[in-house]
Amino acid sequence: MSFSKSLREKAATVWEAGYHHPFVQGIGAGTLDKESFKFYLLQDYLYLIQYAKVFALGALKADSIETMRHFSTHQYFTINSELGLHEEYMEQFGISPEDVENVKPSLFNSAYTANMLAQGQTGGLAELIAAVFPCAWTYAEYGQRLKRDYGDALDGNYFKSWIEMYASAEFEDSFQWLFETLDRLVENMNDEQKKRVEDVFVQSVEFEYLFWDMAYHKKMSF
């Protein structure tokens, strides 16, 4: 198994806890409280803006034109596709541009995005990738598993478009380059350096879990 593929096993416990969290399962079952989803939409909108900035840092640190192109393309996808879906949902919820402008990031949101930006600014390209990788990877797998586990019941599910976006081949294809790029970057690393990359990855998976929990309970802080 390649280094990048093995990272999922390093974070297996919290990865599975994230999928089985009542927020994620509520999306699949269509039973999630819409106020929790509204809270999530606003917080995730703020998160994605910072997430896109990390990809801009990746383009800046890129060691080849191809890698720069990948980072720039993913930043474009985040801004235009993911944020676009959020904007559609926010319109359905009656969330105005003023609401978006005035919302403050929760402590959990701020901690997660600050960590990603710090890795992007002070770490190497491998650490930067490890910090952002769990977001796309967990969303793709969770979306695919929800689509499989809830099957035909999705036809009447209010959150069907959310599931279908993240379960789509287009979304999965958008981040496949991260596996190959990360494997290339760690080729000449020693065990200590690789462990550092693993730790950054696992920490971001833990932040993903905290984000679901934050949204489910509509918590701004502890």
* Residues with catalytic roles: 135, 208
Scanning the chain, the segments in alpha helix (DSSP H) are: 3-10, 12-19, 22-29, 34-61, 65-77, 83-92, 97-102, 107-122, 125-150, 160-167, 169-173, 177-186, 191-217
* Six token digits for residue 31: 């039973």
Distance CA 67, CA 60 (A): 10
User: Could you identify the residue written with the tokens 């999705």?
Assistant: 154
The size of the chain, in residues, is 222
Distance CA 2, CA 142 (A): 22
